[in-house]
Structure 1
Amino acid sequence: MGLFDFAANIGKKLFGRDDPPEQQAAKVQEHIQAANPGVDNLQVEVSNGVATIKGDAKSPEALEKAILMAGNAMGIQEVKAAEATVAGQAAQLATDDEFYIIEKGDTLWKIAEKAYGNGSKYNAIFDANREVIEDPDKIFPGQKIRIPSSLK
């Protein structure tokens, strides 16, 4: 499962299964804008479980956060961001970072132990995913998050 693929049957419930695509897109866009990860002129389209993100991200990390926020919504199985830009240039993601799919029984402490060998670095994971994880004690299996490489 790559960055742009998600489990459609889990995640934050933003819209109903029978809501029209325009309403689904509006709810996903509102969700991303509420946390403001750093994407200007954000536009979201949703069709058949695929969210398409357009806009200009201030950084590769900001675009990754927007992708994760959209993809971690229930009903979204894929996110496309080919038309998004980063600081006005063709979008490139922060290739140093890793992505992790939360498993049953995981905590941010356990994830930090796996990623860095030190569970006390869980706050760095939370900080890197603040827009994706609203509460460090409320993560769920199947949720996809960023693991910053700068701490390794």
Structure 2
Amino acid sequence: MGLFDFARNIGKKIFSNDDEAAEKLKAHIEADNPGMKDLTVEYTDGVAKISGQAKDSAALEKAVLMAGNVEGVGEVQLGEVSGAEPSENVSYYEIQSGDSLWKIAEKAYGNGSQYTKIFEENKEVIKDPDLIYPGQKIRIPNA
């Protein structure tokens, strides 16, 4: 599973039509800015394209996840992005039915109490650790 493909029919609904999608996606990312400057977002037929300057790999990955975990977005592409590339030191996980951050931490780290690490690394993507949904993608930092 790659970073850039998402389930288009799930996630938080933040736009009503394609004409407002780019503006709403940009505002959504900027509201909890993970470290992107000069952010631009384009949207066409389910594909969001992000450009700008990333503070680091985590900022870029979080911006991609924030855009991709929105209803109506099936793919996120990188446009002109400077400052970082997606890290190889992180895995991506798609939430399954019945998952909790505790269960995911047990799978990833062998210790459920490490769920706080996962939550902290995804706080821009997950607002409440008790409110995750099947199909949502998150970052799992390698141990």
Query: Does TM, normalized by the shorter one, top 0.5?
Result: yes
Aligned to 1:54: 51
Q: Could you say what the CA RMSD is over the residues aligned between the two structures, in angstroms? A: 0.8
Q: 1:119 aligns with which of 112, 120, 126?
A: 112
TM-score (norm 2): 0.97
Aligned to 2:18: 20
Asked if the contact 2:64–2:76 (Cα under 8 Å) also holds between the matched residues in 1, the reply is: yes
CA distance in 2, matches of 1:20, 1:68: 19
Structure 1 unaligned segments of length 5 or more: list them: none
Alignment of 1:98-117 (within 5 A): 98-117=91-110
Number of equivalenced pairs: 143
- Percent identical pairs in the alignment equals 57
Aligned to 1:131: 124
Alignment of 1:42-81 (within 5 A): 42-81=39-78
Secondary structure of 1:37's counterpart equals coil
Q: 2:36 aligns with which of 7, 20, 39?
A: 39
Q: Extract structure 1 runs of 4+ deviating beyond 2 A.
A: none
Structure 2 unaligned segments of length 5 or more: list them: none
Give the letter for the 1:47 counterpart: T
Give the letter for the 1:32 counterpart: I
Shift of 1:93: 1.1
CA distance in 2, matches of 1:123, 1:66: 20
Give yes or no for the alignment of 1:2 onto 2:37: no
Aligned to 1:94: 87
CA distance in 2, matches of 1:82, 1:122: 32
TM-score (norm 1): 0.92
